[in-house]
Structure 1
Amino acid sequence: MKRELVVTQGRREKAGKIRRLRTKRRNVLLLALSMFMANVSFGIAFPYLSVYMRLIGGTMLMVGLLSVVFNLTSTVFQYPFGYLSDQTRNRKSFISFGLFSVGVFYVLMAAVSTPLALLALRTAQGALGSAMMPAKSALIAELSTRVGSAYGFFSTVENAGYMLGNFIGGFLVRRVGIGGIFLLAGFLLGVSALVVLLLRERPRPKRAPLLLLIVQEGRGSERVTFEGGAFKRLMRGHLGLFYLSVLLVMVASGQVYSVVSVYFGETFGDEWVGILFGIDSLAAALSGYYIGRLIDRYGARRFYLLAVVGYGVAFLGYAFARSIYLMVPVAVLSGIKWSMTINSASTYVAERAKASERGQAMGLLNAMMSLGWVVGPLLGGYLSGISFTLNFVSTLIPLGLAFFLAFRLPE
């Protein structure tokens, strides 16, 4: 009788492991499908936001502000959403809400005709869309024991989607207009949000209920209470220096990519905007998975340093490559260095944060990226009004500081 109970228990445990493995594989497939569709929509719409701002009468400074307002609100809301996803353990709802919100605002953008209206919608899009990133980054880490490979796989999927969207946008923009591609992007994001809801997550552990209290005028006491100890731990020591390095890299990134669509359009023609972004994304998609595997083998810090160097070389290429034949290999390098950046940074943080604080850790990483894109586009919009070349070359200053900080970190 005792032997039979042992055998039965063993079979149950084996069956449970098989069910959990199948559920995890199903979740990976569904999340990958959703992120592919979402990035198709991002690739369709994002390169033409700056172009659209110019078409409706915005200045180069307002082009930069498109990124500033989006990333400012995203910076503010990233950590709170990461905290809530840790507390509720309901990652999919935050991912779905963020995707759906971004899509709604793209649909609304198709109807605006003034720079201020476009800026207002972009501001709200950054706030509500920020619900997605911390929960998605934490969920990816929870779906695999090989974190670098997992981020590499999703980087490949997302960049493949973004690449396809770039080419679709470049093909459709002269046929349906920028408003039309915004509507298509909004539709795809709605479908992507529905796919995420099909994920099966583990039941939330029993704990005291947590309510999200929205701050309203005259009701300042109603706010989310954060675990201050977790925030302080994450910002101390080597991880804090790494966050600062990422911030500096993203300042340089914001300087360039907030205005480069306009630069491509003026230099090579509007149809090349989508094509060059597509080549960039293709390089990131093809390299992402293999870079993730190499990160698992050789360490995240090493590839992060290579990525910072890649930023500098790519931005010098933007400054001095006047021929489309020279710009194409620069776009390839740009894609590869982005794949290195996002995979190595995500892996470095995920491996050094406790599982119970991973959502908050990834939220802080994304917040640093967003904060860099608050400062960078302001500089980029101003300097590009003087000279695009001046703007691109000046990025070597924050990139040099970022490399110095990261070089001091342990592997």
Structure 2
Amino acid sequence: MKRERVVLQGRREKAGKLRKLQIKRKNVLILAVAMFMANVSFGMAFPYLGVYMRLLGASMFMVGLLSVAFNLTSTIFQYPFGWLSDSSGNRKSFIAFGTASIGLFYMVMAFVGSATGVLLLRTLQGIFGSAMMPAHSALISELSTRAGSIFGLFNSIENAGYMVGNFLGSAIVRYLGVRKLFLISGFLLFLSAGIVLLIRERPTGRRSLLGIILVQEGRKGWRSTVKGSAFRRLMRGHLGLFYVTVFLVMVASGQFYSVSSVYFREAFGEWSVGVIFGIESLAAALTGYFLGKLIDRHGAKRFYLTAIAGYGLAFLLYALVKNVWLVFGVAFLSGVKWVLTINSTSAYVAQNVKVGERAQGMGMLNAMMSLGWVVGPLIGGYLSGISFTLNFVGTLIPLGLAFLLALRLPG
């Protein structure tokens, strides 16, 4: 009798593990489909935001402000949304809410007739869209114990979607116009949000969202609301230094990418914008999973250093190369350094932050990226008004400092 109970218990445990594995695999598939579709939308719309602003009469500095507005609000709101996701144990609702919000504001952009209106809508995208990012990264990290591989897989899938969007966006703008592009992009994001809600999450028994976000008298901003969170621990020691290096890398990224679509349009023609971004995304899609596996095997630090060096090389080549066919080769290199950056930084956080604080850790990573994109576009918009080449070469200063600081990180 006792032996039968032991055998029965063993079968139950085995069946339970198999059921959990099946659910996890199904969740991977659902999230992959949803994020592929979302990134098709992002790839369609993002490269043409700066072009749209110019068509509406904006200056180069105002084009830079477009990125500043989005990333400033995103920086402020990502960490609180990450804390809410950790506290509630909820990932999919935050992902769906953020995705649908971005889609809504893209659709409204199609009916706006002024650059100021687009700037306001982009600001609102930063506020509400920031709900998606920490929960998205945390959910991915929970789908596998091999952080580098799972982030590599999703980065390949998402960059493949972004690449498809880049090429589709180029065709849509040519035949239907920019406004129709934003409408189609918004529709795809609503569809993506609906698919995300199909994910099955395990109940955590944690506090309800009502108890977390209910406004109480005497509160002094969100810092006191997140009392007891991991913020201070995340900003201490080598993790704090790591986040500083990410900020510096993204300053350089913001300098370049906030004005790059305008530069490509003026230097090589409007058709080139989607194609160049598409090649970057193609490179990231082809190499993301492979690079993620290498990160698992050899550690995140050395690949992060390689990524920073890749940024410097890509931006310098963009400044010097004037032949569009050679620029396509630079774009492929640029795509590799981007996915290497995302894989290595995400894996570094996943490996150094405990599970219960992971959305906060990922939220801090995303916040540092967004904060860099607050400072970088201001510099990029100003310097590009003088010379695009001056701006692109100028990215080597924050990148060089980031590389030197990253050398001090533990391996």
Normalising by structure 2, we get a TM-score of 0.97
The verdict on how the C-alpha distance between 1:362 and 1:90 changes in structure 2, with shifts beyond 3 A counting, is same
Question: Is the contact between residue 83 and residue 229 of structure 2 (CA under 8 Å) also seen in structure 1?
Answer: no
The CA deviation at 1:221 is: 4.9
Please tell me the residue identity of whatever aligns with 1:308.
I
Please tell me the residue identity of whatever aligns with 1:125.
Q
Please tell me the residue identity of whatever aligns with 1:44.
M
Question: Is the contact between residue 69 and residue 126 of structure 1 (CA under 8 Å) also seen in structure 2?
Answer: yes
The CA deviation at 1:4 is: 1.2
Does the residue aligned with 2:144 lie in a helix, a strand or coil? coil
Does the residue aligned with 2:409 lie in a helix, a strand or coil? coil
The 5 Å alignment of 1:142-181 reads 142-181=142-181
1:17 maps to 17
1:66 maps to 66
1:274 maps to 274
The 5 Å alignment of 1:276-315 reads 276-315=276-315
The CA deviation at 1:326 is: 1.4
Query: Unpaired segments of 5 or more residues in structure 1?
Result: none
1:410 maps to 410
The verdict on how the C-alpha distance between 1:376 and 1:221 changes in structure 2, with shifts beyond 3 A counting, is closer
The 5 Å alignment of 1:196-345 reads 196-207=196-207, 211-213=211-213, 221=220, 223=222, 225-228=225-228, 230-345=230-345
Deviating more after overlay: 118-127 vs 228-237: 228-237
The 5 Å alignment of 1:42-191 reads 42-191=42-191
Aligned counterparts of 2:409 and 2:141: Cα–Cα separation in 1: 22
Please tell me the residue identity of whatever aligns with 2:325.
Y
The CA deviation at 1:174 is: 1.3
Aligned counterparts of 2:2 and 2:377: Cα–Cα separation in 1: 70
The CA deviation at 1:117 is: 0.7
Sequence identity (%): 66
Aligned counterparts of 1:176 and 1:210: Cα–Cα separation in 2: 44
Aligned counterparts of 2:210 and 2:406: Cα–Cα separation in 1: 37
The verdict on how the C-alpha distance between 1:43 and 1:6 changes in structure 2, with shifts beyond 3 A counting, is same
Aligned counterparts of 1:162 and 1:213: Cα–Cα separation in 2: 34
| Deviations 1:219-274, CA, capped at 9 Å, x for gaps | 85575611446211110000100000000000000000000000000001101100
2:192 maps to 192
Question: Is the contact between residue 54 and residue 63 of structure 2 (CA under 8 Å) also seen in structure 1?
Answer: yes
Question: Is the contact between residue 213 and residue 222 of structure 1 (CA under 8 Å) also seen in structure 2?
Answer: no
Aligned length: 410
Does the residue aligned with 1:258 lie in a helix, a strand or coil? helix
Please tell me the residue identity of whatever aligns with 1:55.
L
Question: Is the contact between residue 255 and residue 381 of structure 1 (CA under 8 Å) also seen in structure 2?
Answer: yes
Aligned counterparts of 2:325 and 2:81: Cα–Cα separation in 1: 43
Question: Is the contact between residue 214 and residue 222 of structure 1 (CA under 8 Å) also seen in structure 2?
Answer: no
The CA deviation at 1:213 is: 3.5
| Deviations 1:283-320, CA, capped at 9 Å, x for gaps | 00001000000000111000000000000000011101
Does the residue aligned with 1:211 lie in a helix, a strand or coil? helix
Task: Find runs of 4+ consecutive structure 1 residues off by over 6 angstroms.
Answer: none
Does the residue aligned with 1:205 lie in a helix, a strand or coil? coil
Aligned counterparts of 1:209 and 1:89: Cα–Cα separation in 2: 10
The 5 Å alignment of 1:372-387 reads 372-387=372-387
The verdict on how the C-alpha distance between 1:208 and 1:331 changes in structure 2, with shifts beyond 3 A counting, is closer
